[in-house]
Structure 1
C-alpha cells in the first residue's frame, strides 16, 4: 500500500533528501547529491524568498519504506505578476511504479487546489530560474551541470497521470567551441562580427567576489528587462540572485562570468559554468558528502584541471533590449570563446534554450546543421477544485 505524508519535521526532511540517493544508486551516470541546496531553497530559504513562495513537500512510502518525493509550490510572485492561477510541482523523484507517481501527483495537486490554483505545471525546482523540466527522448549519459537528470520513465509517469507536455527546451553541444569561427556556413557572420568588434566600444569585466552583492543587483535588473516577454517569466529579485550566486561560488570560474558595459553602463551578461559533474564523478566514491564536496572543488581548481574538467555550460546570456549596440551578444560569445581557449576548456554546451525563443531563431543555431543534444520537457494540466464536505 502506498501512503503519502506531508514533510513537517527535520527527520521528514532527512528522508526527503535521502530518496534521491536510492533512486540513482544504480545509475551508470550518477549526478552529485541534490544540485539544488534543499536547505537553502526549501527548508530555510532567505526571508525575502520565503515571503514570495509557499511550499509543501511530500514523501511517499510503501510498507513504510520511502519510495518517492515531490514538492508543491505556490509562487506568489509569479501569480501576482502574470495573474495566472498556476501552481508548480518540483523536486520529484520516484521509483518505477505508477502507483507511487499517482499518489505523489495526487497529493501535490490537492494541495495546490487548496491554494485556489486552477492548474499545475512542472517540474520546477523551485522555479524556471533554478531547474525545470525532465530529460526526455535521450539515451542515458552524464548529466549536464545545473540541468535536470532523471530516469527515463519520469515522462511516462507524468503522462499516465494526465499531464501533457506544454514546453520543450534544448541544449546544444559543441565538441569544438570554435565552430562559430570555423564552420563555413558561419564565415560571413564571423567576418562581420570581427569588423563589429574592431569598432565596438563594448568592454567586458568579470564579476568580482568583493562586489557580488552590487553586481547581483545589476544582473537582476538586466535579467528582468531581457526576459520580460519570455514564457514562464516572473521578476527575479536581486536578493534571490545574490543567494544563488553565493551557492555557486565554489564551482564558478569567474573568468567565465562576464558583464558587458557600454560607456560605463551594464548592457549584457554571460555566465558559463565549468562542468562540476565531471569533477564530482572523481569524488563519488568518497563516503561523506562533505568530503565529496571538497574533492569536487579541488578537482575544479587544481593545476591540471583541464585533464578532468574540459566542458562548460553557457547558463545565462542576455542583453539589455534597449542597448544601441546590437552586437553585444555575439561579442560576449566571442569573448567567452577566447577565454575558454586560454583556460584550455575543450567543449561547450548551451542550455536551456527555449523552443520558441527569439534568441534561438535568430542565432547561429539556425544557420548550421546542429540538432539539439538533449531535450527537456515541462508538463501541465488543469486541476480539479477541491470540494469540501
Structure 2
C-alpha cells in the first residue's frame, strides 16, 4: 500500500470527499446516504456553518482511490465558549484494513491542528458530527446518527486516540399505558402554567431567534456543545421543514417567557437506501430528538411534558417505536426522563480524543 495524502479543493474534489461516505457504507443492507447539497457549502465556505471555523479536509489515497478521509476543524466558537484550545476531527470515514493510511491521515490532520494552536483533537462530537456506534452495527439509526462499522474503534485507537466520553441511545415501543403516562405529564405541565407551542405556530419573525437562544442557553454547560448561530438554525430549519420539523418541534413558555425547547425531526427512513429484500423494522423508523430547559424552569416536569407532546403526536400518526436519542452516560436527569417516558437503552456510542502531548 502506497499512501498519498491530499487536501481536496474545488467543487469536484470536495464532492468526491463527501461521496466517499457512500462507498464506505455500501456493505450495509440499510444505510443513510451523504447529504451533499447541505454539506458541500460547508466545505466551500458558503454555509453559515463555515463561519467562525477554519476547515481543512484531508484524504488518504491508495493508487488514486480514497481509502480514508477526515475534516480537521478549528472551531473558534467552541474555543471561546469553553476556553479550551481543542481542535476537531470531523466526518471521519475509512475503508477496512486501512490502519497505516488512517494513522498517516490522523497524524497529518493533528499536525495541522497543532499548527493552528490546538493542544488536542476530538473525534465524534462537534459541528453536526455525532459519536461512533459501539455495539449495534446493523440497525438503521435515527437520522443524523452515525452508522459506523465496528473496525473504526481499532483504527482510531491505532491512530493515537483514546475514549473520551460515552453516550447511550434510548428507544421505546409505543403502548397504550405509555400514551396515558405521556398525557398525564402533559396535563401536569399545563397545570403548572407551561404553554407548549409547536414551532409552526410561533410567529415566523421570532421563531428562529427564540429557538436559537433557548437551545444555546439550555445546553451551555452540556459537555462538548458548540453554540448555534441564528443563521445556522435558520439553515437547518429550512432543510428539515419538509420532513415535518416545524410541526413536531416546539417552544415552551411560562408567563409569556420562553423557557424550554424541543427539537424533533420525524422519521425520514424514506431517504434510506435499502438492499433488495431488506425491509425496515419498526425500530428503524424513528424520530430524532433534542430537548432543553432553562435552569429556572428545571425540576418541574417540563422536559417530560415536551417529549410527551411529541410522542403523542407521533404515536397518533401510527409510529410503533420512538427515539429519545443520545444522552451522555452521566447525564442522569436526562436519562431518568427517558426512563419515565418508557424508553430503554438500545445502543451505545463513544467520542474519541487525541492529546498532542502523550
TM superposition score category, shorter chain reference: 0.7 to 0.9
Match of 1:281 in 2: 272
| Deviation for aligned residue 1:108 | 0.9
Aligned counterparts of 2:110 and 2:252: Cα–Cα separation in 1? 43
Residue in 2 aligned with 1:218? 210
How far off is 1:76 after superposition?
Answer: 0.6
In the superposition, relative to structure 1, how do residues 164 and 176 fare at CA in structure 2: closer, same or farther (>3 Å)?
same
CA contact (8 A) 1:310 1:346 kept: no
Would the aligned equivalents of 1:6 and 1:56 in 2 still touch at CA under 8 Å? yes
Check conservation: 2:32, 2:273, Cα contact below 8 A.
Answer: no
Deviation at 1:345, TM superposition (A): 1.9
Please state if 1:336 is matched with 2:327.
no
Change (3 A) 1:379 1:215: same
Change (3 A) 1:116 1:135: same
TM-score by length of 2: 0.88
- Please tell me whether the aligned partners of residues 68 and 100 of structure 1 are also in contact (alpha carbons under 8 angstroms): yes
State the match for 1:297 in structure 2. none
Match of 1:381? 354
Give 1:208's aligned residue. Answer: 200
In the alignment, which residue of structure 2 is the partner of 1:155? Answer: 153
Q: CA separation in 2, counterparts of 1:211 and 1:77?
A: 28
d(CA) in 2 for partners of 1:148 and 1:162?
Answer: 21
Deviation at 1:358, TM superposition (A): 4.1
How many residue pairs get matched? Answer: 353
1:232 aligns with 2:224: yes
Determine if contact 1:163/1:381 at 8 Å carries over to the other structure: yes
Residues 1:144 and 2:142 are matched in the alignment: yes
Distance (Å, rounded) in 2 between the aligned partners of 1:234 and 1:355: 19
1:327 aligns with 2:301: yes
Is the counterpart of residue 169 in structure 1 residue 142 in structure 2? no
Deviation beyond 4 Å, 4+ runs, structure 1: 209-213, 282-285, 307-310
* RMSD of aligned residue pairs (Cα, Å): 3.0
Offset at residue 43 of structure 1 (A): 2.0
Question: How is 1:69-80 mapped onto 2 (pairs within 5 angstroms)?
Answer: 69-80=69-80
Check if 1:122 corresponds to 2:123: yes
1:2 to 1:207, Cα distance in 2 relative to 1, 3 A: same
Q: Using the alignment, how far apart are the partners of 2:34 and 2:184 within structure 1?
A: 44
- Per the alignment, residue 83 of structure 1 pairs with 83
The equivalent residue for 2:94 is: 94
- Residues 307-318 of structure 1 correspond to what in structure 2 (within 5 A)? 311-318=285-292
1:298-329 CA deviation, whole Å, 9 max, x = no partner? xxxxxxxxx99984324211112123882221
Match of 1:259, SS state, is strand
- For 1:192 and 1:358, locate their aligned partners in 2 and report how far apart those are by CA, in whole Å: 22
Deviation at 1:170, TM superposition (A): 1.4
- Does the 8 A contact of 1:255 with 1:339 survive in 2? no
Q: Is the contact made by 2:68 and 2:94 (CA closer than 8 Å) also made in structure 1?
A: yes
Secondary structure at the counterpart of residue 376 of structure 1: strand
Q: Secondary structure at the match of 1:102?
A: helix
Contact 2:167 2:348 in 1 (8 A): yes
Conserved 8 A contact 1:272-1:312? no
Where does structure 2 lack aligned partners over 5 or more consecutive residues? none
Partner of 1:32: 33
Give unpaired runs (5+ residues) of structure 1. Answer: 286-306
Q: 1:362 to 1:24 in 2, by over 3 A?
A: closer
| Alpha-carbon distance in 2 for matches of 1:265, 1:351 | 27
Structure 1 residues 195 and 220: CA distance shift in structure 2, 3 A: closer
